[in-house]
Structure 1
Amino acid sequence: MLINGQPGDSIAASDRGLAYGDGLYRTLQARHGQPLLWHWQWQRLAADCASLRLPCPDEALLLDEIARVAGELPRAVVKIVLTRGSGQRGYAMPADVTPTRIVSATAWAGYPAERAEQGVVVRWCATRLAIQPLLAGIKHLNRLENVFARSEWQDAAIAEGLMLDMDGTVVEGTMSNLFIVRRGELLTPPLDRCGVSGAMRACVLQLAANLGIAVREARLLSDEVLAADEAFICNSLAGIWPLRQLEQRQWQAWPLTRRLQQALAD
């Protein structure tokens, strides 16, 4: 683990990331120190920094630190955490900001291959996402909604939970973004009111455009997800997982999803 470029495992108790969740993070795969999907990861990190008025680290610096922490691992999970650093007591942003930058890596544990091949079982979560356009899309450090939602089940057969907002529209999974297919068109919920705009989501949107697949953002109700011809979830570690079952609805074939999986593999 590197903290501001130096080996370490602790930060100041006065750090605003700890005190207020004042910061952001990205989680990504790396192979022999080379990050995957970096184009989209960097775009999202830079955009989130701008939204939070947080100084963005130099791209070359981050790539160097990723190589340092993950270079000896054939496959790794890398986490980048940026906070506003230490400050005096109180919510107001300090005038002079010295950010805290944490880059760490752990060995890849992987996911069962059958999740991508045979699809996954998902459920609805009772925990709702609050609507806050100011923070919408940002992978900020305040993730208690996701913590509570993911804690709603212990059944290992259920791979993910889908979350609604306070108005009852479908937003995302606890750790993933959601897409559905309806009459050949790819739909995904907009993230203008809440939710996290994942790097894999951005990648899928680009892959779909490259393949000539009609794609757009649309507010979806739970019944529309259940009525979809196909559905899948995605994130930077898992890739693309087709939905096999949600409540009593079951899917057995995912032709468009398979095209996207193949394009991602290529």
Structure 2
Amino acid sequence: MRLLNGQPQDVISMADRAFQFGDGVFRTLRCEGGQIEFWQRHYARLQQDCAALGINCPAEAVLLEDLRIITPVDAAIKIIITRGETIRGYGTSDFLTPNRITQCAALPNYPKDLHQQGANVRVCSTKASWQPALAGVKHLNRLENVLARREWQDPSIFEGLMLDRDGWVIEGVMSNVLVLCDTHLFTPKLDQSGVNGVMCEVAFDAALQHGFAVEKRALTLDDVKKADAVWLTNSLVGLLPVANICDRNFMPHPAQALLSKAVNHLRQLEKFTIVESPDMPKG
């Protein structure tokens, strides 16, 4: 089901700037059993990203009403906010009316043993572009990611690692990257490019609960290959260990169980109920 500004709709005007320029932002959320994971964090990021582009973010109550209309139970939810409609040209007005799109799809059917076996990762030749004004923002122009994902068809490869023009590790095509060295958990510093993902933030909070030091810093590919453990994170796959990068095999690490348990605990604490289930405990 798809909604456009709260109404069932499968089409949008060709004058919309999302269609013309990729002028908008989006978030992807996981809903399971009628409960959306980390809703407050996602909405906060949506507000930040809209502000970065100068788009008026819809009120939280408006988006929640959209979600209640589509009544997701088990679904991958995508919320898109566009700047609105213009006839032509890059110029915009501060008085444009944003369009909001809410849609549901089935949750990805990942292999059952993926989190036990870990993911195989390649390094992409497509570079993450340098643009500090958009760094961290989950904007609609994802052409770099599209080109990077076209680089492989091998189903045994789960993800591709993207570097910037100087060779610094930025992110996965569809994920953020976490690197464990001793008791320090690092993720690339995304002040020049890349997307700040909610699950990476959750994983940092989980690591702090177990006494790990966390830091955003510049990382090279060698830093990643020399790490004790590496994880990928996004809202749908959660915290996924990496099994192989560039012929470097990673053995299962004891931190995996600790972090996974802490992430799951936060997941339970920060679920937002959209659809009441008859099996859901009351109160």
Q: Same fold (TM over 0.5)?
A: yes
Give me the whole-angstrom Cα distance separating, in 2, the residues matched to 1:183 and 1:147.
Answer: 34
Structure 1 residue 265 corresponds to structure 2 residue 281: no
Give me the whole-angstrom Cα distance separating, in 2, the residues matched to 1:164 and 1:130.
Answer: 9
CA RMSD of aligned residues (A): 1.2
Unmatched runs of 5 consecutive residues or more in structure 2: 266-283
Q: Residue by residue, what CA displacement relative to the aligned partner does 1:65-108 show, whole Å, maximum 9, x if unpaired?
A: 1122133x3x1010000001101311011232100100011222
Would you say the 8 A contact 1:34–1:67 is kept in 2?
Answer: no
Q: Residue by residue, what CA displacement relative to the aligned partner does 1:144-198 show, whole Å, maximum 9, x if unpaired?
A: 0000001100000000000001111001000000011112210100110000111
Alpha-carbon offset, residue 8 of structure 1: 0.5
Would you say the 8 A contact 1:17–1:141 is kept in 2?
Answer: yes
Counterpart of 1:160 in structure 2 is 159
Q: Residue by residue, what CA displacement relative to the aligned partner does 1:191-226 show, whole Å, maximum 9, x if unpaired?
A: 100001111111112222233211101101101100
Counterpart of 2:195 in structure 1 is 196
Give me the whole-angstrom Cα distance separating, in 2, the residues matched to 1:107 and 1:144.
Answer: 24
Alpha-carbon offset, residue 109 of structure 1: 3.6
Structure 1 residue 19 corresponds to structure 2 residue 7: no
Q: Which moved more, 1:106-115 or 1:46-55?
A: 106-115
**How does 1:34-183 map onto structure 2 within 5 Å?**
34-71=35-72, 73=73, 75-183=74-182
Instruction: Give the AA of the match of 1:206.
Output: D
Give me the whole-angstrom Cα distance separating, in 2, the residues matched to 1:42 and 1:204.
Answer: 18
Give me the whole-angstrom Cα distance separating, in 2, the residues matched to 1:35 and 1:67.
Answer: 11
SS in 1 for 2:158: strand
Instruction: Give the AA of the match of 2:32.
Output: R
Alpha-carbon offset, residue 32 of structure 1: 4.2
Would you say the 8 A contact 2:107–2:236 is kept in 1?
Answer: no
Higher relative contact order (CA 8 A, sep 6+): 2
Runs of 4+ in 1 over 3 A off after TM superposition: none
Q: TM-score, normalised by structure 1?
A: 0.96
Structure 1 residue 4 corresponds to structure 2 residue 10: no
Instruction: Give the AA of the match of 1:201.
Output: C
Give me the whole-angstrom Cα distance separating, in 1, the residues matched to 2:54 and 2:215.
Answer: 29
Give me the whole-angstrom Cα distance separating, in 2, the residues matched to 1:47 and 1:231.
Answer: 28
Structure 1 residue 241 corresponds to structure 2 residue 278: no
Unmatched runs of 5 consecutive residues or more in structure 1: none
Aligned residues: 264
Give me the whole-angstrom Cα distance separating, in 2, the residues matched to 1:49 and 1:118.
Answer: 38
Counterpart of 2:275 in structure 1 is none
Alpha-carbon offset, residue 34 of structure 1: 2.7
Instruction: Give the AA of the match of 1:92.
Output: G
Distance change in 2, residues 1:109/1:172 (3 Å): closer
Give me the whole-angstrom Cα distance separating, in 1, the residues matched to 2:174 and 2:106.
Answer: 19
Instruction: Give the AA of the match of 2:183.
Output: G
Would you say the 8 A contact 1:127–1:163 is kept in 2?
Answer: yes
